[in-house]
Amino acid sequence: MWHNHVESILATDHETGVKMFEKSSSIIKDPSRFDSNYVPKNLVSRDAQMHELETLFRPLVDYDRPCNAFLMGSVGTGKTATARRFCDDMKAFLNGKGTPIDIIYVNCRNSNSENSVLLNLIRFFDQGYPDRGFSTEDMARVFKNHLLKNKRPLVIILDEVDVLLKKNTVDIIYQITRLSDEVNKPAPVSLILVAQVSVYEMMDQASLSTFKRTTLVKFDRYNYDELKQIVKERAEEALYPGRISDDAIDQIAESSDDYGDARMAVELLERSAIIAEGMTDGEITVENVREAKASIYSMVSESKIRSLDLNKKLILLAVARAMKQNVVIPLSSAEKTYAVVCEEYDVPARKHTQFWSHVQGLEKVSLVRTKVSSDGNGRSTLISLPDIPSKVLAKKLEEILDEEMGSGDSDEMRSVQLRGGHVHQVQRDAPVP
């Protein structure tokens, strides 16, 4: 539904006055670049893995020998993307040499039984094969017959294979790797296994003997710079030029940095773009990114904010107000805004040491993040809001504070008036980095 960006179709029914599809997309150029099975041409920082795969698959390319590989790494480290990119590239390369191969991709989370995997394999050759009524042995035989007829080398990617192997009863790995060794030899069948955890322990001896540990290709989590590059390149592919601010790219990279997870980064980019589409800024802002993140993870529960003591609530409100469209602000400007907030709520402002220890308390519960920066002007502490749109957070805090501190109309009026009176001050304090 999100991908319903219709090219400038302006449909006004003059009879009824009904307007539809009025607004065409001004930010997202090609939504298909966000699809989960889209694989970018260039994979950031995965040259080493691509090269290892090349080495592992050289026997297939040079001598028609079956090859195996096991890709391991945590979620969003590009395992699936790399497996598919590598296979697509290898297929194109071999096509160019006049020796075509076939690739079958199976996600074992969706096909989590031996029969279901076999069904996928058979349907590659025979789309009408019925989905029930045949034993595993029947299906294995049917698959092998297809291989004997087909003659093309085949590469099977079993993604999220740990889900399948956990079931323990499965010897499909052995069956598949053994196919090529038999006398009645079909074309070579290679296997690429993909999982978050090591699967060697889950394999039986027979599979292990064919699937050696030397086939392991490891995927590390991405660092901040790599995530930034991934977001940048995807934005160039999916968005019209100049539709995302550098700060917003930084914020997406920062938000996904804790996990080193490119999936989260790409998903945040997509959601931010969809949110920005509905605004008038004409580009994706930091605030859109915060909202996107809040909408995905809603890590900010109201109860978490409510459970803060009064000082922390006031400090968090000050940070939210001072933040505005910025990714990070100096702690000192949050402290200035804090003084204003305290005045507004008629609470004595805490001294710097206490202020700082409350900020650390807020960081412990992941409501703010701080880091020390050192530049030409010496060291200073910066503060950021990792998850929450500052506007949303400020509004929520104001509601909660008004509820807790003011009762009755006159108090309500007072805080509203004071807040109105301080608008200028708050804006002046908000730094522009």
Closer residue to ligand ADP in complex, CB, 45/381 = 45
Binding mask 190-229 for Mg ion (x = CB under 5 A): ----------------------------------------
Closer residue to ligand ADP in complex, CB, 80/190 = 80
Closer residue to ligand ADP in complex, CB, 49/337 = 49
In whole angstroms, the minimum distance from the beta carbon of 40 to ligand ADP comes to 5
Among ligand ADP, Mg ion, none, the one that 43 touches (CB under a kind-dependent 5 to 8 A) is: ligand ADP
Closer residue to ligand ADP in complex, CB, 83/328 = 83
* Of the candidates 274, 244, 270, 268, the residue with the CA atom closest to the CA atom of residue 255: 268
In whole angstroms, the minimum distance from the beta carbon of 366 to ligand ADP comes to 23
In whole angstroms, the minimum distance from the beta carbon of 1 to ligand ADP comes to 19
Q: Within 67-86, which residues bind Mg ion (CB under 5 A)?
A: 80
193: β partners: 70, 158
In whole angstroms, the minimum distance from the beta carbon of 258 to Mg ion comes to 19
Closer residue to Mg ion in complex, CB, 80/285 = 80
Q: Are 255 and 292 in contact (CB under 8 A)?
A: no
In whole angstroms, the minimum distance from the beta carbon of 80 to Mg ion comes to 3
In whole angstroms, give the CA distance from residue 346 to residue 154: 74
Among ligand ADP, Mg ion, none, the one that 221 touches (CB under a kind-dependent 5 to 8 A) is: none
Closer residue to ligand ADP in complex, CB, 39/206 = 39
How far does CA 272 lie from the centroid of its chain? 12
Among ligand ADP, Mg ion, none, the one that 77 touches (CB under a kind-dependent 5 to 8 A) is: ligand ADP
Name the maximum alpha-carbon separation found in the chain: 92
Task: Give the nearest residue (CB) to Mg ion.
Answer: 80
Closer residue to ligand ADP in complex, CB, 66/73 = 73
Residues binding Mg ion: what is the number (CB under 5 A)? 1
Among ligand ADP, Mg ion, none, the one that 389 touches (CB under a kind-dependent 5 to 8 A) is: none
Contact residues: ligand ADP, CB under 6 A: 39-40, 43-46, 73, 75-81, 230, 262-263, 266
Reduced 3-state DSSP string for the chain: CCCCCCCCCCEECCCCCCEECCCCCCCECCHHHHCCCCCCCCCCCCHHHHHHHHHHHHHHHHHCCCCEEEEEECCCCCHHHHHHHHHHHHHHHHHHCCCCCEEEEEECCCCCCHHHHHHHHHHHHCCCCCCCCCCHHHHHHHHHHHHHHHCCCEEEEEECHHHHHCCCCCCHHHHHHHHCCCCCCCCCEEEEEEECCCCHHHCCHHHHHHCCHHHEEEECCCCHHHHHHHHHHHHHHHECCCCECHHHHHHHHHHHHCCCCHHHHHHHHHHHHHHHHCCCCCCECHHHHHHHHHHHHCCCCHHHHHCCCHHHHHHHHHHHHHHCCCCEEEHHHHHHHHHHHHHHHCCCCCCHHHHHHHHHHHHHCCCCEEEEEEECCEEEEEEECCCCCHHHHHHHHHHHHHHHHCCCHHHHHHHHHHHHHCHHHHHHHCCCC
Closer residue to ligand ADP in complex, CB, 266/382 = 266
Q: Per rule CB under 5 A, is residue 111 in the interface with Mg ion?
A: no
Closer residue to ligand ADP in complex, CB, 46/358 = 46
Torsion of CA 406, 412, 413, 419, to 10 degrees: 80
In whole angstroms, the minimum distance from the beta carbon of 360 to ligand ADP comes to 33
In whole angstroms, the minimum distance from the beta carbon of 78 to Mg ion comes to 8
In whole angstroms, the minimum distance from the beta carbon of 159 to Mg ion comes to 6
Task: Give the nearest residue (CB) to ligand ADP.
Answer: 78
Among ligand ADP, Mg ion, none, the one that 190 touches (CB under a kind-dependent 5 to 8 A) is: none
Q: Are 372 and 299 in contact (CB under 8 A)?
A: no
In whole angstroms, the minimum distance from the beta carbon of 225 to ligand ADP comes to 12
In whole angstroms, the minimum distance from the beta carbon of 198 to Mg ion comes to 16
Among Mg ion, ligand ADP, none, the one that 180 touches (CB under a kind-dependent 5 to 8 A) is: none
Closer residue to ligand ADP in complex, CB, 140/244 = 244
Which residues of this protein are in contact with Mg ion, per CB under 5 A?
80
